[in-house]
Amino acid sequence: MSVSHVTTHILDTTLGRPAPGVAVVLEARVGDGWSGIGTGLTDADGRVKELGPERLESGAYRLRFDTAAYFAGIETDAFFPEVVLTFLVDAEQAHYHVPLLLSPFAYSTYRGS
């Protein structure tokens, strides 16, 4: 498989380094609910390059990050046990990179390239 339509990257801004070993789930909006379409685990560089299909239909999607397990693994208390980022995909766009900037008590995101 080549790089999926949606990729992600997590940087632990408190430690100033990538966040490895974080479980990530890609879900698609289906009616009034959500359906899982891909899973991954961040690599040593904090990236997930293969996360679901190579092409997605236009619509609403979300990424769920298991931040509780990550922070427990580095013995750090944290406020957010999970981060969920919901975004829109246009099938005509070649790629969506959705980074997460993470700390124990805050997070931020943006559309990367």
Tens digits of residue pLDDT in 7-37: 999 999 999 999 999 999 999 999 999 999 9
Q: Is 25 left (phi over 0), alpha (psi -120 to 50) or beta?
A: beta
CA distances from 64 to 40, 72, 83, 104 (A): 10, 17, 6, 16
Cite the annotated binding site by residue number: 9, 47, 110
DSSP tally for the chain: helices H, then strands E: 1, 9
Cite the annotated binding site for substrate by residue number: 9, 47, 110
Tens digits of residue pLDDT in 43-91: 999 999 999 899 999 999 999 999 999 999 999 999 999 999 999 999 9
* Domain 6-109 class in CATH: mainly beta
Average pLDDT over residues 95-110: 96
Domain boundaries, the chain: 6-109
